[in-house]
Amino acid sequence: MQSLWSDNEANDYPSDLDLRVYTSRLLGRDPSLVLHGGGNTSVKITEHNLIGEEEEILYVKGSGWDLATIETAGFAPVRMEHLLKLAELDQLSDPQMVNELKTHMTRADAPSPSIETILHALLPHKYVDHTHADAIVAITNNADGETRIRDIYGDRIVVIPYVMAGFDLARECARRFKAEAGPQTVGMVLLNHGIFSFGATAKESYERMISLVDEAESYLQNKCGDSAHLPGEEADLLARRLTLAELRRDISTATGRPMLLHSTGNPKGLAFARHPEVARISQQGPATPDHIIRTKRLPMLGPDVEGYVNAYRDYFETNAPNAKEPKTMLDPAPRAVLDPNLGLCTVGKTIGDAQIVADIYDHTIDVILKAEALGGYQALPAADLFDMEYWDLEQAKLRKGGSAPMFQGEVALVTGAASGIGAAAVREFLSRGAAVVGLDIDPAVTQVMTTPGYHGIVCDITDEQALRDALETAVRSYGGIDMLVLNAGIFPGGCRIDQLDTELWHKVMGVNLDANLALLRECHPLLCRAPQGGRVVVVGSKNVPAPGPGAAAYSASKAALTQLMRVAALEWGGDGIRINALHPNAVFDTGIWTEEVLAERAKHYGLTVEEYKTNNVLKVEVTSHDVAALAAEMCGPLFAKTTAAQLPVDGGNERVI
C-alpha cells in the first residue's frame, strides 16, 4: 500500500480542518481501507466562540458522509469539554449518548456526530484516522488474530478486544490506552473491526495508517502467498431469466416487499460460490459488524430450469418467517445469495443498495479467503452480531425510514425509450422509485439517464433474438420485470391505401404489432413472477377509435395491438397480470412527429402548426410527460382492479367523443 499524499495537493488545503478533509479523501480513495461510508476521521481544533471564549472543538466525520467525497460541512463540531465529562460517567445508553452529542455541537445544521465521537475525543492526539482495512480484518478474524497482530506490530499498537461501537467501546479503549500506550504507540487495533492511527499532523496520522496497513498486507502475502486467491472462472454464468425472476420473487416474499436482485457476473463471486468449503465459510458471519450481510448459499442444481425453480421455492418456504409469529424490524431474507451456477447475487430495495452489498461482499470474499489461509476464518460470535443488528440505534433508523416511493424495488421495461413518450416514461418511473430498462434502436437510449437505476440497451425490437438478449441483460441487472410499457412504434408519412406499398405495410406491422407480440410472449413468464403482479401498458393511438385518412398502416397496426391487449387481458388475468392501453393524440415532442410530418398533417386539416397542436376540445397541448405520467399511474395502486381499459390522452377529440 502506497501513500497518496502530495505536498502540491496539500497546499490547496490551508487550515487544519481543510487538511482533515484532504487526508480523509485520500483514505476514501482506497476501497480496501473504507467502503461505502465506512471508516472515521477527526481533528481537534481550538476556536473562539461567539462571546470570545476559547474552546476546543472535535470535528468528527458526520453520519451519512463518505470519506471519499467528504467536505468541511461533513464534519460535526462537538465541544471537547462536554465529551470528556461524558467519558467520566459510569454508564451512558446509546440513545442518551446520541442526544448529548447532538445537543453539544456548535452548528445546528451539522450532521449527526459519529457513534465513535467520544472515543476520538479520548485519544490524546490532534488527528485520528479509523479504517476497516481488509488486511487487518482478515488477520483478526482468526483464532490467533490477537497473537498475529502483536507479532506484526509489537508495542507500537494497542490491541482492543471486540466491543460494539458506542460508550462502552470508548471507555474500554481509554482504559487500555492509558495502561498500554507509550511514546512508541502509533496506532490501535480493534479486533474484528479495524485499525486506528493518530498523529500531530494530518500527514503524520494518514501516513501512519498507510504504513500500518502495508505491514499487514506484507504479512498476509508472506504467510498466504497465492493460496488466498481463487482460481480463475469464466464469467459465462447460467443466468436464466426464469431462475433469477423466481429467486427474486421468493426473496421479496420473505422480505415482505418487492426487492431488486442483481446478478453480479463477477468471476470471483462464481468461484467463491463453487469453493469446496463455501457452505461453512460463507455462513460464519460478516468480516466486520459494520457490514452485516445475511448470506445464503444454495445447493448445486442441475441444468433443468424447473428443478431450479422448485429448489428455490422449497428453500424459501422452509426458511421464510412464520406469519403467526410477531415480525421483527429486520426481515430474515438474504441480501447476498451464493449459487454455484449463478455466482454471487445481491439484493436491495434499490439497485444502489444491491451494488453496495456486492462491493462489500467482494471485499468480504478476500477477507474470508485470507483468514482461511492463515488457519481458519472466524467471525464474531452470533450473540455479538445479533446485538449489532438489533442495536437500538439501528432499529431507530429503520423506524424513521418513512414511506418508500411507489415503485421502489420494482422493475419497468420501456420500449422506444430514446426519445418522446418513451424517454418521458423512463424519467417518470425512475422518479417513482422503479429501476428502469429502456430499449431502442437509437444508441441515444443508453444516455437517457445516468443513474444506476437505469439501463439503456440498444435493441432492434423486430429481432427476436436481440429481444431475448435484452431481457437476459435486464434480468441479470435487476432480477425481473414487473411493468412493461409497449411504446415503440413508427408512423410513416401520409399515404392513401391505393398508393400504399406492401413493403411499408409489413414494416409498420413488424414494429407496431409483431415486435410487441414477441415482447408480450417473452415477458409473460417474468410478469407472472412479479412480486406484486405484472402490469402492462400499451401505448396505442387516437387512430384506434378514430382513424384518419392517409394512416392506414399505422391505424391498423395500433388497432390490432389494442385487440391483442384485450385478448391478453382475458388470458393473463388468472396470472395476476393486468394490461391496459392509452390512446394519445397529437403528442408532438416525440420522434414520430418530425417537422415534415407535422407540417403535412396540419396542412391536410387546413390549420397552422400551432393550431394543429391544440386542436382538441380542451384546447391544450398534450406532452410526452402527460402520457408517461398516466402510464405510470396505470401501473400503480389506483388501477389495481382495472384491466383491458382504454384511456384517451388527447385533450378531448370530437371524433372519439
Cβ–Cβ < 8 Å for 233, 270: yes
CA-to-CA distance for 69 and 428, rounded, in angstroms?
A: 29
Give the pLDDT confidence score for residue 298 in this predicted structure: 54
| SS3 of residue 224 by DSSP | helix
- CATH architecture designation of domain 241-399: 3-Layer(aba) Sandwich (3.40)
Cβ–Cβ < 8 Å for 481, 532: no
Average pLDDT over residues 117-137: 93
Query: What are the grid coordinates assigned to 25, written together?
Result: 479523501
Residues 6+ apart with CB under 8 A from 316: 250, 251, 253, 254
Q: What are the backbone angles phi and psi of residue 37, rounded to the nearest 5°?
A: 85, -5
Query: What are the grid coordinates assigned to 183, written together?
Result: 511514546
For 156-213, the pLDDT digits (tens) are: 999 988 887 788 888 888 889 888 989 999 999 998 889 999 999 999 999 999 999 9
Query: What are the grid coordinates assigned to 20, written together?
Result: 482533515
CA-to-CA distance for 314 and 302, rounded, in angstroms?
A: 15
Question: Has 377 been annotated as catalytic?
Answer: no
Query: Residue 241, Cβ neighbours under 10 Å: how many?
Result: 23
Give the pLDDT confidence score for residue 395 in this predicted structure: 46
Candidates 445, 443, 442, 405; CA nearest to 425 is 445
Residue with cell 463540531: 77
Residues 6+ apart with CB under 8 A from 23: 5, 41, 127, 129, 202, 203, 205, 206
CATH for 411-649, among 3.30.499.10, 2.30.30.760, 3.30.70.100, 3.40.50.720? 3.40.50.720
Average pLDDT over residues 524-545: 96
Residues 6+ apart with CB under 8 A from 52: none
Alpha-carbon distances of 579 from 408, 420, 440, 631, 633, rounded to whole Å? 20, 22, 22, 11, 13
Cβ–Cβ < 8 Å for 553, 514: no
Buried/exposed 365-402: b ≥16 CB within 10 Å, e otherwise: bbbbbbbbbbeebbbbeeebbeebbebeeeeeeeeeee
Count of CA atoms in the C-beta half-sphere (13 A) of 237: 29
CA-to-CA distance for 6 and 29, rounded, in angstroms?
A: 14
Mapped to the 3 state alphabet, what secondary structure does 517-555 carry?
HHHHHHHHHHHHCCCCCCEEEEECCCCCCCCCCCEHHHH
Amino acid of residue 15 = S
CA-to-CA distance for 624 and 477, rounded, in angstroms?
A: 27
For domain 7-228, say whether CATH 3.30.43.10 is its number. no
For 60-108, the pLDDT digits (tens) are: 999 889 999 999 999 999 999 999 999 999 888 888 999 999 999 999 9
Query: What are the grid coordinates assigned to 403, written together?
Result: 414511506
Range name among 6-20, 250-264, 586-600, 626-640 with the lowest pLDDT average? 586-600
Q: Decide if 241-399 and 411-649 have a common fold.
A: no
Candidates 169, 214, 219; CA nearest to 191 is 169
**Most confident range, picked from 246-250, 495-499, 557-561, 597-601:** 557-561
Query: CA end-to-end span of the chain, whole Å?
Result: 73
Q: Domain ranges in the chain?
A: 7-228, 241-399, 411-649
Buried/exposed 515-545: b ≥16 CB within 10 Å, e otherwise: bbebbbebbbbbbbbbbbebbbbbbbbbbbb
For 490-533, the pLDDT digits (tens) are: 988 778 999 999 999 999 999 999 999 999 999 999 999 999 99
Binning pLDDT at 50, 70 and 90, where does residue 434 land?
very high
Average pLDDT over residues 384-411: 63
For 21-43, the pLDDT digits (tens) are: 999 999 999 999 987 767 899 99
Give the pLDDT confidence score for residue 356 in this predicted structure: 85
- Exposed / middle / buried, residue 129 (Cβ in 10 Å: 0-12, 13-18, 19+): buried
Q: Which of 153, 308, 554, 612 does the annotation list as catalytic? A: 554
Binning pLDDT at 50, 70 and 90, where does residue 307 land?
very low
Candidates 436, 230, 453, 488; CA nearest to 344 is 230
pLDDT of residue 480 exceeding 90, the answer is yes
